[in-house]
Amino acid sequence: MQTWRILVAYASRLGSTREIAQTIGEVLVQRGADVDVLPVDAVQHLEGYHAVIVGGAIREGQWLPEARSFVEIHRDALRRLPVLYFAVSGLMSDPTPAHFHEVYGCMSEVRNLVEPLEVGIFAGALNYGRLEQHQLIQVLSKGLPEGDFRRWQDIRAWAEDIADRLLLERARQQAGGSEAL
């Protein structure tokens, strides 16, 4: 079986999303994939990839603009590949169904550009000292607590699940004779 190449592209301002992307990449490598984990602005093309995972933080009720722009720029190529998204939000420090739906709703615009196989939603880490004043005001107005709320076991479990799904999708592609871009 030919090696399956997966791109994990991310947009991160303070590093929390980058670390989640790296963990997802590590799990995929453990499952046998050849993985590149790159910031979205470092990706020039998607040629040679069999699947793409795009992640970004939610800020001010929206996925980071550079993550959305990545999907817009590569929309045609992404529509020919298995695509998954993940979002990182401070709201998920309190993982209620309402917060999940709110964060998922922040992804509706990008989901309309390219429908993903799945969307992972994770809590991030929030350090008040790294925020600009207007961001701190917004975070405090929402009552978001400071701290690292990432649930690494949940992130790894999601990555294991998607690795299995992508491996199955890759086997289907090979059985059908389709190749990567």
Cα angle 161, 165, 167; round to 5: 115
Question: Is residue 40 one of the residues assigned to a domain?
Answer: yes
Question: Is residue 181 one of the residues assigned to a domain?
Answer: no
Question: Is residue 90 one of the residues assigned to a domain?
Answer: yes
Domain count, the chain: 1
Spatial separation of the C-alpha atoms in residues 9 and 43, rounded to whole Å: 8
Domain that holds residue 97: 5-176
Spatial separation of the C-alpha atoms in residues 58 and 146, rounded to whole Å: 16
pLDDT digits (tens, 9 = 90+) for 38-84: 999 999 999 999 999 999 999 878 899 999 999 999 999 999 999 99
Question: Is residue 24 one of the residues assigned to a domain?
Answer: yes
Confidence of residue 181 (pLDDT cuts 50, 70, 90): very low
Question: Is residue 98 one of the residues assigned to a domain?
Answer: yes
pLDDT digits (tens, 9 = 90+) for 24-35: 999 999 998 999
Is 0.75 surpassed by the pTM of this model?
yes
Q: What is the CATH number of the domain that holds 132?
A: 3.40.50.360
Half-sphere exposure of 118 (CA within 13 A, CB side): 11
Question: Is residue 141 one of the residues assigned to a domain?
Answer: yes
Spatial separation of the C-alpha atoms in residues 110 and 11, rounded to whole Å: 14
pLDDT digits (tens, 9 = 90+) for 97-117: 999 999 999 999 999 999 999
DSSP assignments along 50-75, one per residue: SEEEEEEEEETTEE-HHHHHHHHHTH
The DSSP letter of residue 82 is -
* Most confident segment among 71-75, 147-151, 167-171: 71-75
- Give the pairing of strands 34-39 and 5-11: parallel
Spatial separation of the C-alpha atoms in residues 106 and 58, rounded to whole Å: 8
pLDDT at 11: 96
pLDDT of 15 strictly over 80:
yes
Question: Is residue 138 one of the residues assigned to a domain?
Answer: yes
The closest alpha carbon to 163, from 120, 103, 105, belongs to 120
Question: Is residue 103 one of the residues assigned to a domain?
Answer: yes
